[in-house]
Structure 1
Amino acid sequence: MERTIMPLVSIIIPAYNAENTIARTIKSALLQDYSNLEVIVVDDGSADSTLSICRDLAEKDSRAKIFTIKNSGPSAARNYALSKAKGLYVCFMDADDEMKPKMISQLVSNMTDDTDLVTCGYTVRSDNGDHAFDQNLEERSYSNDHFYEFVEETQEFKAFNPLWNKIFRRSIIENNNLHMDTMVNMGEDYLFIVNYCNMCLGGYKTLADNLYIYSLSQDGLQVTANRDGNLERRLDQIEILDDIFTQRNYPKQAISKEKLRIIYTSLLESNDVRNDLDMIRKNKYLDDIKLEKSNTAAKYTVFLNILRKNNRMIAYTAINLFKLMKKMQGKNFRWR
């Protein structure tokens, strides 16, 4: 019987002051049912015992490769790890999360010759470690020329932006000199993924299984940027996607949906709704949004119509109602 060759997979973990969670994270990677791995941990100048914990684990399993750099932020740590990676494929983790045992094997088995990116669903774990909810995707393949549909479907379940629920081809990253933008302190993962997808010649695939556990704990890799200004930042960053959609001659409403989704999400997370509403009106963000009601989720259509009334009281009431709906679904948290 011919033996199947298992390609090497590089799992990249940046870690900063993650002494409470890093062992659990690394062990979940090493205990995959897929054995041909290298787990690259970059200690980002931690001031606690993170580095010593990582080195102890590496002594017990040679697949764990530990590096340390001067504190420079998660993007610099990931870039450093990419320079050391040798795998055919690359995956990412955060230092307070876990992979379920079959994650790598399922991601690799779906990276066929005509597929360049595979994305899975995930489980969200609350601050106290309890199960909060699952983000479920459908099992589906998208051809390269239907990138906009891949974006739309995964964005609806907050599954497009994260690095950690995906597997990438290292050759695409290296051949196109892709890297994390160290000048961006929020949304750098989104920009990396957009650029990666634009360089793919093959298609994209989503898996129905939830294979990653995303933790809302306060340990591990933390984003410390001020969340005020998220609306403006997100709309600025979406311009790169707008350019790609325009170059590919995608339907106009494809980018309209993404802009409206950003406005919806940002207003529901905003610390200053009044300022964000004024900014939306001042910059006329709603003017170029054109939607086909039959192809747009009802909540977005209703939200857009409310905002276009330019009545702050009605907008406040609507935003609070939408927040209440999220709370009833158990999803009333703010992403880091």
Structure 2
Amino acid sequence: MQPLLSICCLGYNHANYLTDNLESISRLNYPNIEVIVVDDGSSDQSVELLNDLITNFKYPIKLIAQQNTGNIGLNFNNAIKHANGEYITFISLDDVFNSKIFTNFLEIIIEDKSLAFVSSSKAISINNLGYIDFDKPGKLPIEDISNPNIDDLLELEYKDFGAFYIQGAIFRKDLIDKINGFDEDMTGDDIVLRTKIFLFLKDHPEYNYKIIHKPSVFYRLHDTNIHKNSIRQIKIISEYLGKYWPNKPLPQTFIDWSLHSIKNREIAYVEKIIYLNPTTKRLMDLESIQKAINKTKPSFIKKYIFNKTRVQNDKKITILGFLSFSYTSLNLFKIIFKTQKPTQTNIHYHEYK
């Protein structure tokens, strides 16, 4: 009997993508798999569809349908509690395994008992219909590091907030248990788990790991992706920096994200970001942030005559303090550029080699 692999899946309103995800699991050329699915209170018929799909599925599936928590770390920990495998992996139900590559990762970690994990340094995105967009999420910084050591990986977490994606990585289950899984008091999930693993491995050099330049998962980009919520993203990173790097300077990437988020925003939105927690309050010590806030504060002209602000992806114009309308910005250059060089291809993930 081959070692058992536990696949922990997390979904919230992913009914449109469930079939793709489970089909990619069924294509894994491995005989001993269990699937644990946590549905976090979906309102889109996900649970009903999952119950239908489970009936004739290739592998045993345990479905945990719960009230919505919005706590990804807690939800994955709920799945871990039910995982019996020697090895474990994590995936969101809107994403899809690159089945052939993932199976190869599994063969590698089973063959080498010293490996704590096998992961990918390459990310490939797909759209709602499954067609590949090679320009997103872009090149990961780890691709430029040959044979990264633990300090390199920790530095990537601190500076760039991501050495690799946990989805599609395969971990020893006993390692996940030793670090107590995800931190349930943190908004972030993958960045926390990776950091805890790296810190553990730094103290236990008997473990090895392997990072391979092949994509084991296709990441689905759609309108409800969590990463499109800028306040949530800043909250994730600021909490993470405050807990794991409290005595280090704020990294430039975090400063740049914050500047972009508050630029041309209404002052109430800016204050919501700045006063999220003690880490975001440290932004006030930076001259660049202070300048951006001063530009945001409404002057007499902005308050009573003419003001233009950003509201999500739209622009809002207010005239005479009370006449307001919003519009979507159209950048002719970008439209022409995208027409000449489309980022979305006509290659479906099924055809990717």
TM-score computed with the length of structure 2 as normaliser: 0.64
CA contact (8 A) 2:36 2:63 kept: yes
Cα 1:28–1:223 change in 2 (3 A) is same
Q: 2:195 is matched with which residue?
A: 194
53-62 or 96-105, which deviates more: 53-62
Partner Cα separation in structure 2 for residue 192 and residue 233 of structure 1: 13
Structure 1 residue 153 displacement after superposition: 5.5
Partner Cα separation in structure 1 for residue 262 and residue 126 of structure 2: 24
Partner Cα separation in structure 1 for residue 228 and residue 214 of structure 2: 32
User: What do residues 61-114 of structure 1 show as CA deviations (whole Å, max 9, x unaligned)?
Assistant: 343222222222333321111000011111111111100112332222333333
Q: 1:296 is matched with which residue?
A: none
2:46 to 46, 50, 65: 50
Partner Cα separation in structure 1 for residue 235 and residue 36 of structure 2: 34
Paired residue secondary structure (1:116): strand
Partner Cα separation in structure 2 for residue 206 and residue 229 of structure 1: 29
Once the two structures are superposed, the pairs formed by residues 49-128 of structure 1 within 5 Å of their partners are: 49-60=45-56, 61-73=58-70, 74-111=72-109, 112-120=112-120, 121-127=122-128
Cα 1:156–1:105 change in 2 (3 A) is farther
Partner Cα separation in structure 2 for residue 114 and residue 154 of structure 1: 23
Q: Establish whether residue 22 from structure 1 lines up as the match of residue 27 from structure 2.
A: no
Q: 1:174 is matched with which residue?
A: 177
Q: 2:255 is matched with which residue?
A: 263
272-281 or 155-164, which deviates more: 272-281
Q: 1:41 is matched with which residue?
A: 37
Paired residue secondary structure (1:21): helix
Paired residue secondary structure (2:7): strand
Q: Establish whether residue 214 from structure 1 lines up as the match of residue 219 from structure 2.
A: yes
Partner Cα separation in structure 2 for residue 25 and residue 232 of structure 1: 29
Paired letter, 1:68: A
Paired residue secondary structure (1:210): coil
126-135 or 12-21, which deviates more: 126-135
Paired residue secondary structure (2:197): helix
Cα 1:264–1:140 change in 2 (3 A) is same
Partner Cα separation in structure 2 for residue 197 and residue 233 of structure 1: 19
Structure 1 residue 195 displacement after superposition: 1.3
Q: 2:27 is matched with which residue?
A: 31
CA contact (8 A) 1:118 1:167 kept: yes
TM-score computed with the length of structure 1 as normaliser: 0.67
Paired letter, 1:130: Y
Paired residue secondary structure (1:11): strand
Paired residue secondary structure (2:55): helix
CA contact (8 A) 2:154 2:198 kept: no
CA contact (8 A) 1:14 1:41 kept: yes
Structure 1 residue 154 displacement after superposition: 7.7
25-34 or 81-90, which deviates more: 25-34
Q: 1:237 is matched with which residue?
A: 240
Partner Cα separation in structure 2 for residue 211 and residue 203 of structure 1: 19
Paired letter, 2:86: L
Q: Which runs of 5+ in 2 are unaligned?
A: 275-279, 297-332, 344-353
User: What do residues 7-63 of structure 1 show as CA deviations (whole Å, max 9, x unaligned)?
Assistant: 211111112222111121111112112332111111222233211222222221343
Paired letter, 2:114: D
Paired residue secondary structure (1:264): helix
Paired residue secondary structure (2:92): coil
Paired residue secondary structure (1:25): helix
Count of matched residue pairs: 277
Once the two structures are superposed, the pairs formed by residues 239-254 of structure 1 within 5 Å of their partners are: 239-242=242-245
Cα 1:159–1:208 change in 2 (3 A) is farther
